[in-house]
Amino acid sequence: MTPDSTTIPIRSSPVARTQPMKRHHSKASYYAHRVKESLSTRISKFICAMFLLVLFFVGVIAFILWLSLRPHRPRFHIQDFVVQGLDQPIGFESARIAFNVTILNPNNHMGVYFDSMDALIYYKDQKIGSSPLLNPFFQQPTNTTIVTSTLTGSSLTVNNNRWTEFTNDRAQGTVGFRLDIVSNIRFKLHRWISKHHRMHANCNIMVGRDGLILPKFNHKRCPVYFT
């Protein structure tokens, strides 16, 4: 080797690093994570579906029980109503109003306590008579009670002027009245007894020239509401 000769060191280039194992490991972790996430999602969806299904069946059962056990209000039907002496010019001196009403308890398993009951009779929205009806009583399920009463004397507030209005309406063919039956009731199911409810049954009635209820109003169901 001469002094002029230059020795150039030869550097071996580094071998390129490959990471096939690392990429393979990343893909395996990714798919494992996806499988785990998918499994968790499926379990969550299954639990939610089962919860909703149970909730649905509980709701259906509760609705059926509510339909079968909820109290139905008593049904009132006017059976007879007569204003006696309506054809008399001064009949107010001996005025008598008699009526007959049936009360049906439509509940299959629930009884009704009638703690009080009063009848009020109106003519042109003016009260012309009132009277207590029956003593407190208990009505069995699907039972019918008949209520009859006659208002006369002090239970009627009919004077000569009012009677004249009656006869004037009678000359037109009909006279209209309203019978309002007011009750304080409680519902009873086995050992459970409800609080008091104030109930009204409004029976609109038309009588003819003879003072008798017209056929179209006889046996008519009276609307019922609570206050």
pLDDT tens digits, 96-155: 999 999 999 999 989 999 999 999 999 999 999 999 998 999 999 999 999 999 999 888
Contact status, residue 91 vs residue 163, Cβ threshold 8 Å: yes
What are the tens digits of pLDDT across the range 193-217?
Answer: 999 999 999 999 999 999 999 999 9
The values of phi and psi at residue 105, to 5°, are -95, 105
What are the tens digits of pLDDT across the range 43-96?
Answer: 888 888 888 888 888 887 776 666 556 789 999 999 999 998 888 877 777 889
Distance between CA atoms of 156 and 136, rounded to whole angstroms? 23
Distance between CA atoms of 70 and 210, rounded to whole angstroms? 43
Distance between CA atoms of 222 and 181, rounded to whole angstroms? 10
Structure tokens at 16: 């390129």
Distance between CA atoms of 129 and 117, rounded to whole angstroms? 14
Contact status, residue 190 vs residue 111, Cβ threshold 8 Å: no
